[in-house]
Amino acid sequence: MEEDKPVFEGEVWVNADKISFVGTDNEAAKANIYKHFDREIDCKKNLLMPGFKNAHTHSAMTLMRSLADDLPTQKWLNDQIFPVEAHMTGEDIYSLTKLAILEYLTSGITSIFDMYLTPDTIARACREAGMRCVQVGCVNNFSQSLELVERMYNELNTEDDPLNSYFMGIHAEYTCSPELLTKFSDLVHKYKAPVFTHIAETKAETDGCIERYGMSPVKYLSSMGLFDFGGGGYHLVHVNEEDMQILKSRNMYVVTNPGSNVKLASGIAPISDYLRHGIPVALGTDGPASNNCLDFFREMFLVTGLAKLRCDDASAIDANEVLKMATVNGAHAMGLNDCDTLTLGKQADIIMIDLDQPNMQPINNICKNIVYSGSKQNIKMTMIAGVIRYEDGRFNIGVDPHDLYLEAENIKTRIRHELGR
């Protein structure tokens, strides 16, 4: 994923949580380093690459997977999702986040950009399971306060907790009053912090904001000073040319969520336009209530497929660009500048792609194989911070997956009972 550095045959060495060597066999033989490894893995000509960065998700919504599909969006949200969320505890969210982590690992995802209700229990789940997690604030009128966001910003951005970090953020324009946004803007300026938020996901949202404030959501939130230190937006489907100029001038990231956008009929984001404006695009699954899975192969195919449809052009957004979104751009959006490529000194967030499968044969072009033919079945190994968390179908996150499946069923049953359903 480094510019001008194509796929090559060689070795990658890992020392503790970092990459200590990347090079050809010849270079490795020449490297005057005492080669004593705890473990050597013969990759058998499979592909090593940086792990995927899931730049937008709500992990604990695994609970609502397949709970309420094929419904009109407002009915889905108001009748199904919100009532269930109101009954979820911090400990529920802890277990359900771990369930999501299992799924991330099967898809080669090594970092998540997670927005949900109880940041402390999410951070604990990720710390224990070894998932790299950047959380983002979810300030809104109803459930998450400025105080919590400020506390988490300070608590999770420390060197003692290398797997966890935290960005400031709000849920969305339409769930925050102008007064709340003004106070939030003060907080953002106090810390000179970038801000991420759901924005311009649906036409109704964009139209509503224009009706309320005479400005698009991007322009409105920018006018409140929320993007004075950069950041980015999740979804960004319904935008205009002026919005693009704002995003560009604020050095913001677009995090696109194509699986969610099709399933909820939100629309097709103008990805080719963003790229033409030089606005970096990262990829996210969104939460499992709206997608419903956490599969980066689906997202990678969709981001280019939908762009091809939207542009009426089969050459729109080639596979290399998609892989860059899924790895390098995601890492940079999430502030993980040491997790973007397989380079000496970077974090060892590495996946192995199994090329010894029929969907990868013949090998005309490895990058295109991954984006257009790849599936979770091709994830042979997922390593985060130098620790293998998934290998040949087996998990290593400190808990038996079946305990997490059972716990999810128990939470489901309990909440159904509480809701009298």
Interface of this chain with a second copy, residues 34 to 73, rule: CB under 8 A: 62-67, 69-73
**Of positions 7, 29, 33, 309, contacts a second copy by CB under 8 A:** 309
Radius of gyration of the chain (CA): 21
Interface of this chain with a second copy, residues 173 to 212, rule: CB under 8 A: none
Contact status: 224 vs a second copy (CB under 8 A)? no
Task: Report the residue number, 1 or 408, with the smaller CB distance to a second copy.
Answer: 408
Burial bucket for residue 36 (CB in 10 Å: 0-12, 13-18, 19+): exposed
Q: How far is the CB of 331 from a second copy (least distance, A)?
A: 24
Contact status: 420 vs a second copy (CB under 8 A)? no
Task: Report the residue number, 346 or 389, with the smaller CB distance to a second copy.
Answer: 389
Q: Lay out the sheet containing 350-353: strands in order across.
A: 47-50, 350-353, 379-384, 387-391, 394-395
Q: How far is the CB of 302 from a second copy (least distance, A)?
A: 8
Interface of this chain with a second copy, residues 338 to 397, rule: CB under 8 A: 356-359, 361-365, 368-369, 372-377
**Of positions 208, 267, 335, 386, contacts a second copy by CB under 8 A:** 267
**Of positions 313, 400, 403, 418, contacts a second copy by CB under 8 A:** 313
Among the residues of 107-177, which ranges form H helices?
Answer: 119-129, 146-156
Interface of this chain with a second copy, residues 241 to 260, rule: CB under 8 A: 259
Q: How far is the CB of 315 from a second copy (least distance, A)?
A: 5
Task: Report the residue number, 26 or 364, with the smaller CB distance to a second copy.
Answer: 364
Cβ neighbours, 10 Å, residue 99: 24
Distance CA 415, CA 42 (A): 47
Nearest to 320 by CA among 333, 335, 337, 303: 303
Q: How far is the CB of 389 from a second copy (least distance, A)?
A: 13
Distance CA 406, CA 115 (A): 24
Helix (H) or strand (E) holding 394: strand 394-395
Task: Report the residue number, 65 or 250, with the smaller CB distance to a second copy.
Answer: 65
- Number of residues lying near a second copy (CB under 8 A): 72
Interface of this chain with a second copy, residues 76 to 135, rule: CB under 8 A: 76, 99-100, 102-103, 106
Contact status: 20 vs a second copy (CB under 8 A)? no
Q: Are 354 and 46 in contact (CB under 8 A)?
A: yes
The distance from CA 191 to its chain's CA centroid, rounded to whole angstroms, is: 24
Nearest to 285 by CA among 314, 308, 309, 255: 255
Interface of this chain with a second copy, residues 397 to 416, rule: CB under 8 A: 401-402, 404-405, 408-409, 411-412
Give the length of the chain.
421
What tokens appear for 111 in the block? 């970092």
Helix (H) or strand (E) holding 332: helix 330-333
Cis peptide before 362 (omega within 30 of 0): yes
What tokens appear for 339 in the block? 């997790």
Q: How far is the CB of 285 from a second copy (least distance, A)?
A: 11
**Of positions 49, 133, 319, 342, contacts a second copy by CB under 8 A:** 319
Nearest to 175 by CA among 136, 217, 134: 217
Among the residues of 216-325, which ranges form H helices?
Answer: 217-223, 241-249, 258-263, 271-276, 296-311, 319-324
Interface of this chain with a second copy, residues 279 to 308, rule: CB under 8 A: 288, 291-295, 297-298, 301, 304-306, 308
Q: How far is the CB of 410 from a second copy (least distance, A)?
A: 9
Contact status: 6 vs a second copy (CB under 8 A)? no
Contact status: 8 vs a second copy (CB under 8 A)? no
Task: Report the residue number, 12 or 353, with the smaller CB distance to a second copy.
Answer: 353
Q: How far is the CB of 274 from a second copy (least distance, A)?
A: 18
